[in-house]
Structure 1
Amino acid sequence: MEGNRTLDPKTLDDIIRRIVEVAQPQKIILFGSAARGEMGPHSDVDLLIIKAGADALDLMGQIYRNLHGVGAAVDAIVVTPEDVERYKDSHALVIKPALREGKVVYEAA
């Protein structure tokens, strides 16, 4: 049985670079098992991508196309700053745990 593994920093850097290329987000937050250093053999990389004025479905499609071949399973969730403000206290959505336990891995200057 495999123990916990961590996300290779080079892989994370490549994922971030590829997302920024197509999305130009304000912020990217790594959360879930990768942020906690508790990745298992079937874990993915959970990312909350914050982008003003985003058409989430269209942007997620562009992101996933650009992540092809990155070497890791990525779960990218695109939200607007307004979504974050509106749903930051909702237990039913991923925004609250991402903000609580997540690590900012990219922030626009």
Structure 2
Amino acid sequence: MGESAAESSWVRRIEEVLRKLGERIRVEAAIVFGSWARGGGGEWSDVDLLVVSSDVANLSILDRFSISAEYAREGVDLFIYTPEELESMVRRGSALALSALVEGVPVVTCDHVERLRREASSKYRRLGRVWVSLDASPTP
């Protein structure tokens, strides 16, 4: 069965965003998550995109927000983190990180993010709208 027009549209949007973003930073990983990854996106749904790049380590949160805001008018909610930040988010059980890593659709990937995807998938499960740890020991 072929792609719907809406699915084709979000794929083109992601390709274009990653092309433009790749001119500014090295994209080590990119994962579509949220409603599109779960099959619930529609014509008017934005696309949630997690991008991992070591190149943003020295950028302030405001600078990253400014970059992300440039793509909002294209219907893409862009979240940019370093590999270390993403790893810390997984350890803390961040819903954003877990949604992307466990349920997301990788567009670009690297070994570090694949390892985090396996770790998150083995340690967390979604129960309704919340993520629960499968590990009985408390997280520091």
Same fold (TM over 0.5): yes
Partner of 1:6: 7
Which of structures 1 and 2 has the bigger CA Rg?
2
Map 1:1-109 onto structure 2 (within 5 A).
5-8=6-9, 9-52=11-54, 53-55=57-59, 56-65=61-70, 67=71, 72-107=74-109
CA RMSD in angstroms, aligned pairs only: 2.4
Task: Tell me the alpha carbon deviations over residues 5-49 of structure 1, each in whole angstroms, 9 at most, x when there is no partner.
Answer: 525232221122122222222111111112233213441110111
> Would the alpha carbon gap of residues 60 and 24 (structure 1) be closer, same or farther in structure 2, given more than 3 Å must change?
farther
Which of structure 1's runs of 4+ aligned residues deviate more than 4 A? none
Using the size of structure 1 for normalisation, the TM-score is 0.73
CA drift of 1:90 comes to: 3.7
Counterparts of 1:68 and 1:97, CA distance in 2: 20
Relative CO higher for 1 or 2, CA cutoff 8 Å, sep ≥ 6?
1
Letter in 1 for 2:7: T
- Deviation per residue, 1:38-91 (Å, 9 max, x gap): 2134411101111122524313313433x376xx31111111111111121444
Q: What's the offset of the Cα at 1:102?
A: 0.8
Q: What one-letter code is carried by the residue in structure 1 that aligns with 2:29?
A: K
TM-score (structure 2 length as normaliser):
0.59
Which structure dedicates a bigger proportion of its chain to helix?
Answer: 2
Sequence identity percentage: 29
Aligned length: 101
* Structure 1 unaligned residues grouped into runs of 5+: none
Assess, with a 3 A threshold, how the Cα gap between structure 1 residues 29 and 68 changes in structure 2: closer, same or farther. closer
